Amino acid sequence: MKTTDTPPADTTGERPPVAKTAPPAAPREKTTGRTLNVFSHGFLILWAFMVAMPLLWAVMTSFKTDKEIFSSPWSLPETLHFDNWSRAWTSANMSDYFLNTIIVVGFSLLGTMLLGSMAAYVLARFEFPGNRFIYFLFIGGMSFPIILALVPLFYVMQNLSLLNTLPGLILVYIGYSLPFTVFFMTSFFRTLPTSVAEAAFVDGASHTRTFFQVMLPMAKPGLISITIFNFLGQWNQYLLPTVLNTEPENKVLTQGLVQLAVSQGYKGDWSGLFAGLVMAMLPVLAAYIVFQRQVVQGLTAGALK
């Protein structure tokens, strides 16, 4: 797959004489190249417009008054109403939703990465009876429809008094993030050289110490990719909190916004709602623009495997 770096060197040497021997083809190709260029730019710009427009529209709308939103949805706001933002942050509880999301995602990300790489390490590097079975038990979870498990899970949580609590939600996030994390990290640990770990072990380090001080640092690139993947998945999660976390003060960002849309619909505070929506949108978009390369790598790593 990495061979792309070498062939161009050969082809640049070969290409000019070939082009000379086939002169009639050259001008025709030049014109088709140009039409294609205009054609492709046209479609590409159109789609870029269709993707960016709704987002820009939301940002613009968040600065308008309610009256402006209804009378002229497409015009620019006359003055920038920053009060929509402060109103959403304080009186519409956006600050609480943010805090809850940060707590839940923070702890479950930590738990997912720790437990996921522990399990993956053992499954990748040690032979023991049941290894394959446990591995397939984990990765089988990737293709099951979550909603099927949610009905009994609701009552499992209720019996454990974990329903509508943040720790409960954290444990469930960890559980449902494990299949992909284990799947990805297992294949990653397999690619790491064994000699370093063996040397550490011979030097007297325990298995646990070898794992934390040698293997985990070596697995950093894989850990970063999969952390980003899990971060976005857990930050954006909607189905799990909707079913398992209905206590008003425990709501996370996504369900809080949907709740807000319903209640503000009655109150008619559309500008505040749009401010809340943009507020929730901006952190991930900003993080994506800054860490673009890692985000794309993290998200596509799974699909390419």
Partner 1 sequence: MQHGKYRFIVGFLTAPLAIYGLFVIWPFIQSIYYSFTDWSGLSPEFKMVGFKNYTRLWDDEVFWKSLQHSVMLVVLLPLVTLTMALFFAFMLNVGGRRRKNAAIAGVRGSAFYKVVYFFPQVLSIAIVALLFQFAYNPNSGAINSFLKAIGLDSVQPDWLGDPDLALWCIFAVLVWCTVGFFVVLFSAGMASIPKDYYEAALLDGASRITTFFKITLPLLWDTVQSGWAYVGILALGAESFAVVQIMTVGPGGPDYSTTVLPLYVYQKAFRDGQAAYATTIGVALLFVTLLFVAVVMKLGRRERLEY
Q: Which of 226, 255, 272, 275 binds partner 1 (CB under 8 A)?
A: 255
Binders of partner 1 among residues 121 to 140 (CB under 8 A) are: 121-122, 126, 128, 134, 137-138
Give me the DSSP letters along 146-209.
Answer: HHHHHHHHHHHHHHTT-TT-HHHHHHHHHHHHHHHHHHHHHHHHHHS-HHHHHHHHHTT--HHH
**Smallest gap from residue 285 Cβ to partner 1 (A):** 7
Tell me whether residue 81 or residue 170 sits nearer to partner 1 (CB atom).
Answer: 170
Which 68-97 residues touch partner 1, going by CB under 8 A?
Answer: 69-74
**How near is the Cβ of 122 to partner 1 at its closest, in Å?**
5
178, 234 contact by CB (below 8 A): no
- Residue with smaller CB distance to partner 1, 80 or 134: 134
Q: Which residue number, 81 or 254, has a Cβ lying nearer to partner 1?
A: 254
Which of 23, 133, 143, 195 touches partner 1 by CB under 8 A? 143
Can you tell me which residue has the tokens 């952190």? 283
DSSP letters of 217-280?
HHTHHHHHHHHHHHHHHHHT--HHHHHH---GGG--HHHHHHHHHHHHHHHT-HHHHHHHHHHH
Size of the site for partner 1 (CB under 8 A): 113
Q: Which is nearer to partner 1, 77 or 175 (CB)?
A: 175
Q: Is residue 24 part of the contact set for partner 1 (CB under 8 A)?
A: no
Asked whether position 12 contacts partner 1 by CB under 8 A, the answer is: yes
